[in-house]
Amino acid sequence: RAERKVLEEGAAELVEEARKKDVAVVTFGDPLAATTHVALTLTAEKKGVSWKYVPGVSVLTYVPSRLGLEHYKFGWTVTVPEQWAHAPSFYERIRGNLKRRMHTLVLLDVGSGAMSIVEGLEALLHWAERLGRGWDKVVGVARAGHRDEKIVYGYPEELMETEWPEPPHSIVVPGKLHPVEEEALGRFVRGKR
């Protein structure tokens, strides 16, 4: 099993192993949507090791489609880092997206343990208190695309009281909603499903 750290720091060893036998790096989503995996392919090419790309459905495209939100109305995708209390940049990007009336896909760090929607919302509310909120409702998306997927649209406080399945989790902070987007999100209001 290869964690991100192994892929980043052990790329050369992994590529050397691939010279001798078939090696597979299997990930959630589209593997080449992350620079970690692109860097691995570049290392392989530089060492003359061929590789094959098998695309997958990515959270970057699945979540907007599943929620009924217009893809082109998404701004920067942000990640809430594990050490969020000292890093407001993710929140500043959300606010920037909102100023441009755009939606934000908020990924939750999977560093030493996958962050939950509740932990992600704690980070958002922490910085909202200091820098200003600018939004009312958010969407929690747990286990996108899995059988036990759970999606709830509502106020952060409601989402924090929701029982969620195990991660991976993400959050969407909607910008200016088109009436069709509003209706689509209405399907995910807590207690409706």
Q: What is the mean pLDDT of the chain?
A: 90
pLDDT of 193 over the 60 cut: no
pLDDT per position as a tens digit, 23-44: 988 887 788 887 888 999 999 9
Torsion on CA atoms 57, 59, 65, 71, rounded to nearest 10: -110
pLDDT of 52 over the 70 cut: yes
What percent of the chain shows pLDDT beyond 70?
95
What is residue 68's predicted lDDT score, i.e. its pLDDT? 98
What is residue 166's predicted lDDT score, i.e. its pLDDT? 94
Q: Return the H-helix or E-strand segment holding 122.
A: helix 117-131
Task: Give the model's confidence band at 107: pLDDT under 50 very low, under 70 low, under 90 confident, else very high.
Answer: very high
Task: Give the model's confidence band at 84: pLDDT under 50 very low, under 70 low, under 90 confident, else very high.
Answer: confident
Compare 71 and 4 and report the one with higher pLDDT.
Answer: 71
pLDDT of 91 over the 60 cut: yes
Average pLDDT over residues 132-148: 91
Q: Return the H-helix or E-strand segment holding 154.
A: strand 150-154
CB 74 within 8 A of CB 64: yes
Question: Domains of the chain by range and CATH?
Answer: 4-46 (no CATH), 59-186 (3.30.950.10)
Beta bridge partners of 94: none
What is residue 6's predicted lDDT score, i.e. its pLDDT? 75
Structure tokens at 136: 């009312």
Residues 106, 135: Cα–Cα separation, whole Å? 14
CB 177 within 8 A of CB 185: yes
What is residue 70's predicted lDDT score, i.e. its pLDDT? 98
Average pLDDT over residues 116-133: 91
pLDDT of 54 over the 70 cut: yes
